[in-house]
Structure 1
Amino acid sequence: MPEPLVFAHPEPAPAPTRIWPVFLPFAGCPHRCLFCAQDRQTGRDRAVLAPILADLERDLDAALAGGRGPYELAFYGGTFTALPAPWPEAFLALAARFRERGLVTRVRCSTRPDRTEPAVLDRCRALGLDLVELGIQSFDDAALAASGRGYGGGAARRGCARVVESGLALGVQLLPGLPGDREGLFQADVREAAALHPETARLYPCLVIEGTDLARAWRRGEYVPWAVDRARDELARALPVLWGHGVRVIRLGLAPEGTLTDAVLAGPWHPALGQTARSLALLSIIRRKVAELGRGPVSLTAPRRYQGELFGQANELAPAYAALGLPRTRVRFADTAVFSLA
């Protein structure tokens, strides 16, 4: 019998520690973008920083006393590098105190690519910041202008370069399906983002959320969001590209936080969007391996960790695997780290 084709899943290993998110909705933001719904996601219409800092200190103390952790502390929801003094210093100093005590292992923040002045990044790095997630959304001038981001593709690229040059790790957030979208735009954004070799990426297909300017444009018939099927297929195409460049994709679609679920009016909202995209991406990988095998496969042995993912939600991909010559009776799951296609 010919030798089996053995291969690993291309997805990079997950981070070793859990994220502790700290939400600072709208804090430091110069304006509100067309699609922004931080208030719906976090349940807060603005960030009052003093009580957030006090609550964080109390909660970190409790976690330390309870023997929990360690954690990666993450400041989300605003423009961290544009917070007025002394707030960046205050939050990073608190993180440093708990880092010394072993509860916090790493610190990250999210910010806009046009708020990446080298002096600010250098100061934040000196105070203990490790990773900056940039809300790029797109590298396309037309889509950024139509979405009211206030910067163009050049600023997005410069922001990424500045983060890397500062010695900080880079994270990239993309928002496919923005106003101004056109066929092929998201995949071009993905290729450009992957070429930067960021540590992480988040992919958030654009949703129409009550209370946003985008919702008003949608009601006027000026914006048509992606359908769920398109979002799933586009994300599935994007994942192998990012994985192939060593990028950990840490989020697919918005999490159902705050009052977000009830506020979604239109767009590719589905609780299993990420799972279905990952399943389709895995199918595309196995399909390529079957072609590489050069003959009809006899069996597939897969790592047990992919048992809930391989055939898709409610076994929706079972017919596709059967068409490859891999019906369920020829697929087995085992305690292994690699796939084996015989």
Structure 2
Amino acid sequence: MKKNSIPYRILFFILITAAIIFWNFKAKSDLNGREEGLKITKWENFYSGDNIHFYYLNPQNENLLKLKKTYGLDKIIDEKKDQFDNSIKIMEFINGKVKAQSTSMTSDKNALEIMGAAFGGAKISDSDYAIIYEECLASVGINVRRGVLRSTDKKISGKSYFNVCEIWSDNYNKWIMIDGVNGSYMTDAEIPLSAVEIISKGIDAVKIAPLKGTKMYVKNMKSYYESYSISVDNNKYGELKSNSKLTFLKEGQLPRLETKEGFIQPTIFVNKPQVFKTSPKIDYVNTGVEKIPTLIFAKKDLKNDTKEVDNFTVGAFMNSYMLTKYFISVNGRDYIKVDTFIDLQIVKGVNSIKLSQDGKTLLREVIIEK
């Protein structure tokens, strides 16, 4: 396919890196002796718009239809009830059959396979739980997205992330987070909250329902409620539209490209909640209102890295499209013209990456220390 035959959307940048990101993430289960890893000291690159096209599971997919039929999920819900009430019903059904804990190993199976094992007594991870919960909900027509809560402190004991789901409620006209593993959701003034709202308010300031031992929940889970990531493309049973993540951080927090578990997938970082509020009920229309592009960093294959160099691919997107022409300056050198993507080496010391659309005017700057 010729490069100029169709506009480059986020998906093209991500598809190029999808395979290597998978192996990269698997291979780097720890920091390989790197106590700090890469450290971002400046990030003038937060996305502030809401012009992103999200994709969701189609309830008519044959896998979801089979899942619904096998477990009689349509008989569990009440079509007269709101999506939130029915999501709780599905959660209670799953939790009556499944034992999940964050320390269990994650599989690479689909929901039917996971549920078969889990209903047979096998313990599953929070990631596997989120997969079956997501697909069960989608099979009965509930808009749902899996999300990852993550600690920003790499020194915490255990893994740094925890999986949850968010469902869209017509009654509340918002996304609502449900922690199915712990059988809970959170409210403020009796209104169920999204993950971003919980992070913004602080887990200490919200009501955790319907749990009784909330102090223990806060003690065990508080460290996870520091950042939240969702996928742009939540439809696993179709042509991949995007492998990019969208991550919310509170004001003043700096992103991390590297966690305890390894380098993250290509990610758009935001510190404003608006884009996370986007309704799945509204047909996407590209408004084209954004004027400043945003950099996305994708880790390349680890095999070419050294103690002195980490290799990345960098792209810039705006209005849900990858730009085919922009300019990058590295460590104060002259701007160079970029044709869609540029290979970037993060070297020992301080690395400054600047973005311009005309080769003169600075629009974004990121500083990464290695």
Q: Same fold (TM over 0.5)?
A: no
TM-score norm. by structure 1 comes to: 0.29
TM-score, structure 2 normalization: 0.28
Q: Which has the higher helix share?
A: 1
Q: Which has the higher strand share?
A: 2
